[in-house]
């Protein structure tokens, strides 16, 4: 019987009932097996997982779609899954945040997720996301609203946010600093030239010329909306790069450390690749309602974390390839290694429930707010 195993997940069972809990974990179990988020494809594996060959695939499909019809607009369940995902990471520390967007089109519909992740070792793990009804960059107001909701769930004070050039804006910088969130945000060439020139010291052009000519880091304190920040310029280590100078704005006191920290931002690109083309095929998503999409992404993230945990445990066993130029790269990614280990654990649903329950710690991570 499944009921005793489902009741162990008291956080969900007491609020949403056995049916919701069963379908939540059933979907989590299906995704690594089917390697897709398309419900019409997922349904083909339900009978095997539940050891039920009498129910038609059409009935299994209705089970999956009904779950999202019932719970796709429930923000409470979405937030509980987000918190649950952090618990899967147990006591691993989180100090670095990364924000970026990923987008694609489904027919005439535009899908754009703005995603906030934490870095866990070398891996980016999403903790909060919103769906924007447009392609292209987010506004300062949209980012602020997202962070206000994320801060209601997670304690982000004292953490450092890494973000690329489209996530700029004076009000945005002030919002982060007012909420005690450090940041290193890359600037486009020419951003805020007047503000830099108005501050005491070298002009923007003088800073840029010195950095490029002498191949050394230069920095300067600037002010936006009455608050002080540090503008940093560093030479691009790639001699043949189109951009000879990288430019950052930061609140961190150590400019050199801030510049080195920004190099970790690319890890969120690896995350999107795993979710979309290298593992779970997120672009197969075919739910039209934003609330349903957000919940499905939360379930995908659960499956992603489970694969990452398995891969991380075996990271030292992954072979390394050495190339002609002397560079070395793992033969396979932590995610792909972990996915190969996770998949057999999903072949039987009751066994997956036992496995999943062992992955959870009852103790909240320090990042989690005590929010009901």
Helix or strand (DSSP H, E) at 352: helix 349-359
Strand-pair partners of 97 = 118, 161
Non-local (6+) Cβ contacts of 59 within 8 A are none
Distances (CA, A) of 69 to 13, 291, 296: 18, 9, 12
Comparing C-alpha atoms, which of 5, 53, 54, 56 is closest to residue 26? Answer: 5
pTM: 0.86
Phi, psi of 132 (to 5 degrees): -95, 140
pLDDT at residue 61 in the model = 94
Q: Any bridge partners for residue 109, and if so which?
A: 106
Phi, psi angles (nearest 5°) of residue 167? -105, 60
Q: Give me 216's structure tokens.
A: 């050394």
pLDDT per residue as tens, the chain (372 positions): 578 888 888 888 889 999 999 999 999 999 999 999 899 999 999 999 998 888 999 999 999 999 999 999 899 999 999 989 888 876 455 688 999 888 766 666 677 888 999 887 777 888 999 988 766 778 999 999 999 999 999 889 999 999 999 999 999 999 999 999 999 999 999 999 999 999 999 999 999 999 999 889 999 999 999 999 999 999 987 766 678 899 999 999 999 999 888 877 776 666 677 776 667 877 766 666 778 889 999 999 999 999 988 988 888 888 776 666 666 666 777 888 999 999 999 999 999 999 999 887 545 445 444 333
Q: What is the pLDDT of residue 121?
A: 72
CA distance 104 to 109: 9
The Cβ of residue 103 has, within 10 Å, a number of other Cβ atoms equal to: 15
Query: 246, 273, 257, 247: which is closest to 335 by C-alpha?
Result: 273
Report residue 361 as tokens.
């710690």
| Structure confidence at residue 137 (pLDDT) | 78
Which pLDDT score, from 0 to 100, does residue 370 have?
39
Considering only CA atoms, which of 275, 268, 274 is closest in space to residue 293? 275
């Amino acid at each position: 019987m499944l009921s005793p195993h489902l009741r162990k997940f008291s956080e969900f069972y007491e609020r949403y009932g056995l049916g919701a809990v069963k379908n939540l974990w059933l979907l989590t179990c299906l995704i690594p097996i089917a390697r897709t988020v398309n419900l019409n494809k997922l349904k083909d594996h339900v009978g095997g997982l539940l050891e039920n060959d009498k129910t038609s695939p059409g009935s299994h499909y209705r089970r999956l779609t009904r779950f999202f019809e019932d719970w796709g607009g429930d923000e409470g369940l979405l937030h509980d899954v987000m918190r649950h995902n952090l618990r899967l990471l147990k006591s691993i520390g989180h100090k670095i945040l990364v924000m970026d967007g990923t987008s694609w089109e489904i027919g005439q519909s535009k899908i754009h997720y703005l995603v906030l992740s934490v870095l866990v070792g070398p891996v980016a793990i999403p903790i909060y996301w919103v769906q924007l009804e447009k392609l292209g960059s987010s506004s300062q107001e949209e980012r602020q609203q997202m962070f206000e909701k994320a801060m209601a769930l997670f304690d982000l004070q004292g953490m450092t946010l890494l973000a690329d050039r489209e996530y700029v804006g004076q009000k945005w910088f002030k919002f982060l600093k007012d909420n005690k969130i450090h940041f290193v945000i890359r600037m486009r060439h020419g951003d805020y030239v007047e503000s830099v020139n108005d501050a005491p010291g070298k002009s923007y052009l003088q800073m840029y010329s010195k950095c490029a000519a002498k191949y050394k880091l230069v920095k300067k304190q600037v002010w936006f909306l009455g608050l002080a920040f540090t503008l940093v310029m560093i030479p691009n280590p790639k001699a043949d790069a189109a951009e000879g100078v990288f430019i950052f704005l930061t609140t961190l006191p150590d400019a050199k450390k801030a510049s080195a920290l920004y190099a970790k931002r690319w890890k969120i690109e690896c995350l999107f690749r795993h979710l979309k083309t290298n593992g779970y095929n997120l672009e197969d998503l075919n739910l039209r309602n934003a609330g349903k999409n957000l919940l499905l992404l939360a379930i995908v993230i659960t499956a992603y974390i489970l694969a990452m945990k398995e891969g991380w445990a075996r990271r030292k066993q992954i072979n390394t390839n050495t190339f002609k130029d002397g560079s070395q790269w793992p033969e396979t990614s932590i995610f792909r290694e972990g996915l190969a280990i996770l998949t057999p654990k999903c072949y039987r649903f009751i066994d997956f429930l036992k496995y999943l329950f062992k992955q959870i710690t009852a103790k909240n991570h320090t990042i989690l707010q005590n929010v009901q």
